[in-house]
Amino acid sequence: EPTERTLVLVKPDGVRRGLSGEILRRIEAKGYVLRAVQLLDATTDVLHRHYAEHEGKPFFEPLVEFMMSGPVLAAVVEGEDVIKGFRSLAGATNPTEAAPGTIRGDLGRDWGLKVQQNLVHGSDSPESAAREIGLWFPGLA
Ligand code: DAT
Ligand code: MG
């Protein structure tokens, strides 16, 4: 079967804390390949589309605001079962509950804010990955 791709974001908290390199290191150490990487200021349009599934939830607007609080590192990551595998590397959504050994478990914490600053995003299905890669890397083959 063809190698799978996922969309990874290092969120503004991760970039701000200087953890982009550590997070990319873990991805590469696992054996996944970085196919495209860019640092950018996310627009409200891209973020509303990226998080469309959460529109209307109480944390939605604070989440979009947080995602615009600083640069985001976006990456297309390739590898066998990388969609599931990266979410496993990332750990549970809430950093307090994320297992040690995971990105969120080792490096994240609950900052007591309304939005969980959990360092990374990873696509949750092949459909999401295709949609999100098209959104963040419109020119990518
Ligand atoms: P994940 O990022 O693990 O896929 P998700 O898709 O359910 O989690 O939610 C997207 C982001 O929204 C998540 O990374 C942090 C934020 N979020 C989710 N649930 C939240 C909640 N109950 N309170 C505050 N922020 C939340
Ligand atoms: Mg999600």
pLDDT tens per residue across span 44-83 = 999 999 999 999 999 999 999 999 999 999 999 999 999 9
In the residue annotation, 54 being an active-site residue is answered as no
Which pLDDT does position 116 carry in this prediction? 81
Which residue out of 48, 50, 54, 121 is catalytically annotated? 121
Residue whose Cα lies nearest atom 5 of ligand 1: it is 93
- Give pLDDT, residue 69: 96
Residue whose C-alpha is closest to residue 12's, from 60, 62, 73, 61:
73
Distance of CA 33 to the CA centre of its chain: 16
Question: Ligand 2 center to residue 87 CA distance, Å?
Answer: 9
Residue, of 112 and 106, whose pLDDT is higher: 106
> To which H or E segment does residue 126 belong?
helix 126-136
Nearest bound ligand to the CA of residue 118 = 1
Q: Are 26 and 103 contacting, i.e. CB atoms less than 8 angstroms apart?
A: yes
Tell me, yes or no, if the pTM score tops 0.90.
yes
What pLDDT is stored for residue 114 in this prediction? Answer: 63
Place of tokens 């991760």: 14
Pairing of strands 72-79, 4-10: antiparallel
Q: How far is the C-alpha of 112 from the C-alpha of 12, rounded, in Å? A: 16
| φ, ψ for residue 29, nearest 5 deg | -65, -30
Give CA–CA dist 10/24, Å, rounded: 9
Which helix H or strand E contains 79, and what residues bound it?
strand 72-79
Residues in contact with ligand 1 (CB, 6 Å cut-off): 54, 59, 63, 93, 115-116, 118, 121, 124
